[in-house]
Amino acid sequence: MYKFIIEGDRELNGSVRISGSKNAVLPILAATLLTNEQSVLHNVPDLADVKLMLEILEELGCKTSFANGTVVVKPIDISRTLASYELVSQMRASFCVLGPLLANRKRATVSLPGGCVIGVRPVDLHLKGMRELGAKIEIEHGYVHASADKLVGKRIFLGGNAGSTVTGTANVMMAAIFAEGTTIIEQAAPEPELESLAQFLTKMGAKIKGAGSHKIEIEGVENLTGTEFTIMPDRMEAATFAVAAAITHGDVTLTNVVPEHLFAVLEKLNEAGAEIDFSNNDEIRIIGKDIRPTDIVTFPYPGFPTDAQAPFVALLSVASGLSIVTDTIYPDRFMHVAEMNRMGANIRKQNNSAIITGVKALSGAPVMGSDLRATASLVLAGLVAKGTTEVHRIYHLDRGYEKMEVKLQKLGAQIERAEYTPRRRKSDRQAA
């Protein structure tokens, strides 16, 4: 396994190019199953999750290649319809192959993804949408078996108790591509990644209106063709580097970004004291100043994103006062709190909130990542902490941040990747 060793308390300065978006490319890769022709994607980030999705596409009979940011997918054996537990259980987004398989290959057997460390994460809304289009859905032995000789467009309400669903909207939108008539998804997720998926599908020949809003209309078409497409910039990588600039009192310009996607994050960063300049179209400059406390509540887009919650907890842990950060999307997504407290932070978790009393300084310590954004937040804490921080289990980070340590090094951080053999933890020994 690998860990990061960080010597903290250094300002970050310079510019960093933001990579292609993980959460945009994953459903787009699934969407390549909607055509029997070749798809070519550019600006694809080199991430563990992308490689896993390519493995799933191979399992589903596609030939794939990935070099220099370009992915080529060519379906060869379209009789394959099984996405196995071994692969799907490693990444929830892979459940997005269900809709395209059902639409284009008329049937699909896809493992249920299961829960994960950030919460229960059901897929009931994905299945509801497909049932309403006319699919027969059965769950047996941990697998979803879906089939339909013909799907028929319908008005579908896709809201759940926690609001809209991002990958659920993607899945149902893709399932409806060849449905007879018009499908209307009400309470659709309005995230920019879905707008980007709709742009890709439209380039392939789909007829979609309203993506990026709460109401998406899909008029069924006969077939889709292969196409070439460029993946949008990753707004969560951008948010993470923006916090890195602010937390280290640095001066960093993010390039290849869409400032509009980041308004809620930039607003809070500004409230927390950072100076922000986005007068250039695809750049944002962040100048770190004294860090002020602020309260944050996560919401679906365009609200403050749950994926930026952990990075902001790191930032506010060194603010000059009391902040409350509430996650309405994933109430249990606070695994980073205990690790940050090991670094001298003063954070209390209460229900779905972190109550943060800012401290003057964090002190470097060995800490452990638990999921993608929590691990990123520990790296951010390590960048500002006095002394050495070791962040273990960075395989979580490699799922969603392209060459994070190389980008941070270019900005002046002292961070190294080192191999280590994990020891059994005390709790494992007790359980054994």
Q: Which residues are catalytic?
A: 116
DSSP letters, 346-387, are EEEEETTEEEEE--S--B--EEE--SHHHHHHHHHHHHHSBS
Residues in contact with ligand EPU by the rule CB under 6 A: 23, 26, 92-93, 119, 121-126, 160, 162, 165-168, 189, 236, 305-307, 329-330, 372-373, 400
Cβ-based nearer residue to ligand EPU, 38 or 89: 89
Give dist(CA 405, CA 416) in Å, integer.
7
User: Whose Cβ is closer to ligand EPU: residue 234's or residue 405's?
Assistant: 234
CB 74 to ligand EPU: min, Å: 24
| CA 188/CA 200 separation, integer angstroms | 18
Structure tokens at 31: 């969407």
CB closer to ligand EPU out of 229 and 330 = 330
Contact predicate 380/405, CB 8 Å: no
Q: How many CB atoms lie within 10 A of CB 79?
A: 7
Shorter beta-carbon distance to ligand EPU: residue 5 or 25: 25
- Helix or strand holding residue 338 (H, E): helix 335-342
Nearest to residue 176, comparing CAs of 93, 99, 94, 81?
A: 99
Report residue 109 CA to chain centroid gap.
Answer: 24
Angle, alpha carbons 262-267-273 (nearest 5°): 125
Tokens of 291: 């860090």
Instruction: Give whichever of 162 and 324 is closer to ligand EPU, judged by the CB atom.
Output: 162
Residue 175 CB, nearest approach to ligand EPU (Å) = 14
Here the tokens at position 416 are 């190294």
Question: What's the distance, CA 116 to chain centroid?
Answer: 14
Instruction: Please state the closest distance from residue 331 (CB atom) to ligand EPU, in A.
Output: 8
Alpha carbon distance 38, 52 (integer Å): 19
* Minimum separation from the CB atom of position 197 to ligand EPU (A): 10
Residue 279 CB, shortest distance to ligand EPU, in Å, is 28
Rounded least distance, CB 121 to ligand EPU, Å: 5
- Cα atoms found within 13 Å of the Cα of residue 415, Cβ hemisphere only: 32
Contact present, 59 and 87 (Cβ < 8 Å)? yes
Q: Which residue has the tokens 């869409």?
A: 258
